[in-house]
Structure 1
Amino acid sequence: MNNNILLESGTGEVEILEFIINNKYYAINIIKVKEVIHSDNLTKLPESHPAISGLTLYRDKIITLIDLKYVLEKQHKDEIKSTIILCEFNKIEVAFSIDNIVGVHRIKWEQITKPDDITINSLVIGNIVLSNKIILLLDFEKIVTDISPSTGISEDRIVNIDYKDRSKVKLVIADDSPLIRRLLKDTLIKAGFQNLRIFDDGKQVLDYLLNLVHDKNENFMEDVHVLISDIEMPQMDGHTLTRKIKEHNILKKLPVILFSSLITSDLKHKGKAVGADAQLSKPEIGELVVCVDGFTSSLNS
C-alpha cells in the first residue's frame, strides 16, 4: 500500500480504505494500512481469544490475524483463504481478515459524522455517507485493546511514574474514542492531574480556545497550559487543529502534544509540518506525563 498519495498535513482531508464484511460497508484510515494481501497461510492458536483466527506470515514476520467478521457479528469466516488488511498502529503490527476491498476515497474530516449513540463499548467512531450508502469508520485500536488489553492505555503503564501534585496544571484533551478518553482521564488523575477539560473532536477544542482568546486575549493560558490531541477525529483532525493553533497570532504559544497511534518514524514529519511541539505514540502514557511535566515545570515547582 503506497501511503505517499496522502495529502500534506493539516489539509482537513483523509483517505479511507472501504471494505465489505457480510454485505456491510466499513472503513479504515489508509494511513494505518501497510498492505492488502490474499493468504491461506494460517496457523491456528490453541486456547486463544475467539476473535483471533491465528498467525499468518508476512515477509518472514509472524503477524496475528483478527477475524473482523467475528468481532462485528460474532460469526467466524468460513473460507480458509482470506483478504487481509495488514496494519501498523500503537507500535504493533496486526492483520484483519475481511471479505472484499471496495476502494480508496479521499474525503474531508468534516464529512465524517459522529454516531448518535456513542458509548464506551462502541466500535464505530464515525459515519460516512458516500454513493447513497453509509460506511462505518471503525475504532481499530479499541478492537485490538478489547482482545489484548496490554496493548492499550492502562493504569498499569504509570506504575513507574512518581505521583505528585499536578493540580495546578490545566490540560485540554481531544480524542474521539470514548475508551481512550476514559483511560486518559483515569490515568492522568492517578498521576496527580486534576484540571482536565476533555473534548471528542478538534473543532470543539478550536472553538473553546478561540472563545478563551476572545475573552482573555493574551491571558488565555490562565485556563489552559497544554493541549493533548489525537490525530484521527471526525469534524477536525489533530493535524488541522495543530496547524490552525500555530498559525494564530495568540494561540501559537500554546504547547501542543500529538498523542496518537499514528505517531511512527515514517509519519512524524506530518506533525512537524504543522508545528506540533511534541509527538508521542499511544499507548505510552508514562512518556506523555513526562512530556507534560517538561512544558509545565514552573507550575509544579
Structure 2
Amino acid sequence: MEQRDILLETGTNELEIVEFTVGENKFGINVMKVKEIIQPLPVTPVPHAHRYVEGIIELRGEVLPVVNVARALDLHPNEIQEKDKLIVTEFNKMKVVFRVHSVTQIHRVSWTQIEKPQDMYQGMETQITGVVKLNGDMILLLDFERIVLDIHPESAIGKDKIRKHTQCDRSSKKIIVAEDSPLLRQLIEETLTEAGYTNIDFYENGKDVVTYLELLKEEGKDLYETVDLLITDIEMPQMDGLHLTKRIKETPEWEALPIIIFSSLITEDLRHKGQKVGVDAQISKPEIHLLVQKMDELLEDK
C-alpha cells in the first residue's frame, strides 16, 4: 500500500494514522512516517545485531533494517506468521522497516482527539506518545524514534558541532519551544543552553503556545518585544506544529514571528507541508547544529 496524501489542506490539525496490531494490542503510526506497507520479504540475519533487529532486506535496490516491534515491546517476541506485514518508514533522515502482526485500516483523526499518555502506560519498554479512542477501542501511538534510538544511540541529537557557529548575543533572545517529548525537551534545552540560548520556555503542544500568545495580547504586551523565535515539533497532541504555524502566520499581530519546524518528519517529500503554512525554516531531527545555525540567521537582525 503506497502512502496516500488524502488530506487536501495542510495545517488542519488533522492526521491519518495506520492502525496495526501486535498480539492483541492495537497501535498506530502517523501516515506521514509511512512510505509503504508490504508483504514480508526474506530477511537476511545480521550477526551480533540488536535483539530488536531481525536482519536486513533488499527493497528496490536499498538495503534496509527490519525491526520486530513485538520484540521491542516484549509482546509475543518470537511469534512470526505469514499474515505479518512490513511497514516501511522514513523519519529522522533514515528508512527503517517495522514488522507487525497485521495492518487493519487508516483513520483520519484530529490531534485534539489524541490524549497525552498517563504514567501507567510508561511501563512498556518503548514510550507511547499518545492515546486515541476510536470506536470503543484505544489505539496507542508508539514512539518509533525511541525504538530506533534504543537500537542506534548514535542517531540521537548531537551537540558536537554547536560551538563552531556564528557567535552572537544569544543569551538576550527569548525562545519558545513546542515539543511534547520530555526526552527531547531536555536534549533541546541542554544543546541550546550550551550554544548560548539560555532564555527558553517550553510548551507541550501548539495549543499551549497559542494560549500563551493570546495572553500576551490580552495583557497588551508587544509579542516581538517578548518573544524572538518559536521552535516547534510537528507531532503533538491537541495541536500539531503545522496548524500552530498556520494560526500564527494568519494572525496579523503574530505573523512576523520567526518559526522553525524541528521534526523527524522533515523529508523532501514532506517539506512542502511546512512551506504551505509559511514556516521560516525546517530542520530535520537530529541535526540540532543546523537548528542553531538557522536560529542565528533568523535572529541576526533582531
By how many angstroms is 1:221 displaced?
A: 2.1
Report how far residue 152 of structure 1 moved: 2.5
Question: How many percent identity over aligned positions?
Answer: 41
1:247 aligned residue (234, 246, 250): 250
1:2 aligned partner: 3
Name structure 2 gaps, 5 residues minimum. none
Match of 1:248, SS?
coil
2:40 matches 1:36: no
Give the Cα separation in 2 of the matches to 1:122 and 1:167: 35
1:108 correspondence with 2:110: yes
TM-score by length of 2: 0.93
The answer as to 2:229 corresponding to 1:231 is: no
Structural RMSD (CA): 1.9
SS of the equivalent of 1:145 reads helix
Q: Distance in 2 between matches of 1:241 and 1:215?
A: 21
1:125 and 2:129 equivalent? yes
1:160 shift after superposition: 4.1
Cα deviation digits, residues 211-270 of structure 1 (max 9, x gap): 1122234x2222210000011111000010001001111011111111111111111111
Paired amino acid for 1:200: E
Q: Letter of the 2:261 partner, please give it.
A: L
The structural deviation recorded for 1:170 is 0.9
Match of 2:98 in 1: 96
Query: What is the CA–CA distance in structure 2 between the aligned matches of 1:7 and 1:140, rounded to whole Å?
Result: 26
TM alignment of 1:214-225, pairs within 5 A = 214-217=218-221, 219-225=222-228
Q: Are the counterparts in 2 of residues 230 and 238 from structure 1 also a CA contact under 8 Å?
A: yes
Distance, in Å, in 2 between the alignment partners of 1:160 and 1:148 is 25
**Which residue in the other structure is 1:177 paired with?**
181
- Does structure 2 retain, via aligned residues, the 8 Å contact 1:261–1:281? yes
Aligned equivalents of 1:77 and 1:260: distance in 2?
A: 33
Q: Contact between 1:90 and 1:283, CA under 8 Å: does it hold in 2? A: yes
Flag the 1:165–1:253 CA change in 2: closer, same or farther, 3 A. closer
What amino acid maps onto 1:135 in structure 2?
Answer: I
Higher mean displacement: 84-93 or 257-266: 257-266
Is the CA contact (8 Å cut-off) linking 1:126 and 1:136 kept in structure 2? Answer: yes
Classify 1:76/1:130 alpha carbon distance in 2 versus 1 (closer, same or farther; 3 Å). same
Report the equivalent of 2:139. 135
Q: Check conservation: 1:111, 1:235, Cα contact below 8 A.
A: yes
Quote the offset at 1:286 in angstroms.
Answer: 0.7
Match of 1:269 among 260, 265, 272: 272
* Distance of 2:78 and 2:220 partners within structure 1: 57
Give a deviation string over 1:101-139, Cα, whole Å, max 9, x none. Answer: 110000111000101228797611110000111100111
The amino acid that maps onto 1:79 is: I
**Aligned equivalents of 1:149, 1:297: Cα separation in 2:** 33
TM-score, normalised via structure 1 length: 0.93
Report the residue type matching 1:176 in the other structure: D
Q: Is contact 1:139-1:177 (8 Å) kept? A: no
Matched AA of 2:115: T
Distance 1:290 1:91 in 2: 19
SS for the counterpart of 1:211 is: helix
Contact (CA 8 Å) 2:3, 2:31: kept in 1 or not? no
Q: Which runs of 5+ in 1 are unaligned?
A: none
Q: By how many angstroms is 1:57 displaced? A: 1.4
CA distance in 1, matches of 2:104, 2:126: 24
